[in-house]
Amino acid sequence: MKVVPCGGAKGVTGSCFLLETDELRILIDCGLFQGADELKNYQPFPFDPKSIDYLILTHAHVDHCGRIPLLVREGFRGKIISTRPTEKLSRLMLLDASKVMYENYKTALKKLQRTGKAPTPPLYEEYDVLEAMELFTIRLPYNEEFKLSRRVSLLLKDAGHILGSSYVYLKVYEGSKLKRILFSGDLGNKNKPIVKDPEPPEPADYVFIESTYGDRRHKSFEESKEELLQAINYALSRDGNVIIPSYALERAQEILYVLREFYEQGRLPRCSIYLDSPLAIAITKLFTSHPEFYDREAYKVFLEKNPFELPNLYYTKEVEESKAINSVSSGAIIIAGSGMLDGGRVLHHLKYNLWREECSLVFVGYQPRGTLGRKIIDGEEKVRIFGEEVAVRAKVYTINGFSSHADQEGLIDWLSHTGNPKRVFLVHGEEEKMKTFSRAIEERLGFRCSIPEPFSQIDL
Ligand SMILES: [Zn+2]
């Protein structure tokens, strides 16, 4: 049996692992490469997509599911296995991804036409997404063993990362020998609203674990909520607006959930709240149809009301509605994408509010190097938005306890339940962080760790 990391090795995006047994060829995730690694999406798959029997999808973030339509376009006709929310969320995420790719292509085409060059075509189209959705044929609940073949069985367990997220536990018999393999997918941060905490895993022989925050500790979620309230009070008491760049999936719903709590506690100042993202609006609606995946607390709220609804909350789906927010100069909390400020409606809101010292800009997600968000956090006094110079005068808050990823403590705690694995493979992280994480695991748990190279063959 062997595993080949085809994405997500020594990198944080493009998650994709090929597992080959005597009987089956299985993929775990097939994510999009993003940011600096974007061009890797155009490299051919290092395997024949036609030969894959199953694709097990851990969750609906595009860095885990975003290349599935491409895989289907290249001939994959196997079965896709996931939880029900993962399937439905993937549909929304992939349709949105194909739309964004097409729009970027159209913009590039306009610019390049003048030079006589042709832009790279989109990776896939809406049609490919719809075809891919037809292959989501096996929906599994957590903790129900499913036989993939005579000698291979699968268990999905709750990863506590986003709604419906799972990690993968595979049992493979080779002769009379049993080998147990864990793929962590993305593991959640404890004590977050809506989702449960990650389930402790069962003992395993080999573990592939994500290392996004393997080198650091998050602030507690309670502290982060208070910081968010401070940021809101700062701007609203000065007749300014609050801008929250946010991911559409999970983060936007968490913010609404927390704002509703503030409102019910009588701590939210009078304001209008705008959820200014068609994708986030669709996802929020979908969240209310899967309360069975909530944690106990959120489920209790759900029995009485919609956990994401509060007075003066406006869903601005249409472009015209979004533009109308530009004339609101005070008393607004605006939640819009993209979370990394690399596009989307949030840029318009920044143009209208970033130069005003009575406003606040609240980062609730990681801002990688090179992004506009990072430049603002690093204290640049002026930035360019749509080719225009804008002064950074709003008060900038960076709140890290909203992260959907476990920190070092959370990852080590999860790993401590795996018994005594023969080998732990660190994946889905930046190399420097993985080295720190690897030392921490070896010191605290005594497990042997490796950091696999992309496309290396790992014999198990
Ligand atoms: Zn994720």
Residue 113: pLDDT band (50, 70, 90) is confident
34 CA → ligand 1 middle, Å: 13
62 CA → ligand 1 middle, Å: 8
The answer, yes or no, to whether residue 370 has pLDDT greater than 80, is: no
Condensed to tens digits (0 to 9), the pLDDT of residues 206-248 reads 999 999 999 999 999 999 999 999 999 999 999 999 999 999 9
Cα 8 from Cα 444, distance rounded (Å): 25
177 CA → ligand 1 middle, Å: 33
Cβ(83)–Cβ(73) under 8 Å? no
Residue 185: pLDDT band (50, 70, 90) is very high
115 CA → ligand 1 middle, Å: 39
Q: Which residues pair with 170 in a beta bridge?
A: 154, 181
249 CA → ligand 1 middle, Å: 10
12 CA → ligand 1 middle, Å: 10
Condensed to tens digits (0 to 9), the pLDDT of residues 429-459 reads 989 999 999 999 999 999 999 999 999 999 9
Nearest Cα neighbor of 416 from 381, 373, 445, 379 is 445
Please tell me what DSSP assigns to residue 190. Answer: T
Place of tokens 């491409």: 70
399 CA → ligand 1 middle, Å: 18
What strands lie across the sheet with 360-363, from one edge to the other? 313-315, 272-276, 332-336, 242-245, 360-363, 395-398
Would you call 428 helix, strand, or coil by DSSP? Answer: coil
Cα 139 from Cα 119, distance rounded (Å): 38
Place of tokens 């499913």: 146
185 CA → ligand 1 middle, Å: 7
295 CA → ligand 1 middle, Å: 18
Nearest Cα neighbor of 359 from 194, 240, 183 is 240
Work out the angle at residue 427's Cα, subtended by the Cα atoms of residues 421 and 429, and round it to the nearest 5 degrees: 135
Q: What integer is the mean pLDDT of 367-382?
A: 89
Condensed to tens digits (0 to 9), the pLDDT of residues 315-361 reads 999 999 999 999 999 999 999 998 889 889 999 999 999 999 999 99
187 CA → ligand 1 middle, Å: 8
Cβ(16)–Cβ(30) under 8 Å? yes
Cα 319 from Cα 333, distance rounded (Å): 18
61 CA → ligand 1 middle, Å: 5
358 CA → ligand 1 middle, Å: 34
325 CA → ligand 1 middle, Å: 30
State whether the Cα torsion 324-326-329-330 is positive or negative: positive
Condensed to tens digits (0 to 9), the pLDDT of residues 263-275 reads 999 999 999 999 9
171 CA → ligand 1 middle, Å: 24
- SS3 percent helix, strand, coil of the chain, rounded to 5, is 35, 20, 45
Residue 284 host element (H or E): helix 278-287
58 CA → ligand 1 middle, Å: 9
For residue 132 the two structure tokens come to 């891919």
117 CA → ligand 1 middle, Å: 36
* Widest Cα–Cα separation across the chain: 71
Which pLDDT value is given to residue 111?
84
Q: Which domains does the chain have, with CATH numbers?
A: 2-216+405-459 (3.60.15.10), 221-398 (3.40.50.10890)
284 CA → ligand 1 middle, Å: 17
382 CA → ligand 1 middle, Å: 32
Which CA distances in Å does 136 have to 91, 110, 216, 346?
10, 36, 36, 33
Q: Which residues pair with 25 in a beta bridge?
A: 20
Cis peptide before 211 (omega within 30 of 0): no
161 CA → ligand 1 middle, Å: 7
336 CA → ligand 1 middle, Å: 19
280 CA → ligand 1 middle, Å: 16
| pTM for the structure as a whole | 0.95
Q: Which residues pair with 134 in a beta bridge?
A: none
402 CA → ligand 1 middle, Å: 13
109 CA → ligand 1 middle, Å: 31
- The answer to which of 106-110, 284-288, 368-372 has the lowest mean pLDDT is 368-372
231 CA → ligand 1 middle, Å: 26
Would you call 331 helix, strand, or coil by DSSP? Answer: coil
Cα 129 from Cα 70, distance rounded (Å): 8
329 CA → ligand 1 middle, Å: 35
Which pLDDT value is given to residue 110?
86
60 CA → ligand 1 middle, Å: 7
Cis peptide before 338 (omega within 30 of 0): yes
238 CA → ligand 1 middle, Å: 36
Which CA distances in Å does 349 have to 248, 328, 330, 364, 386?
16, 10, 12, 16, 12
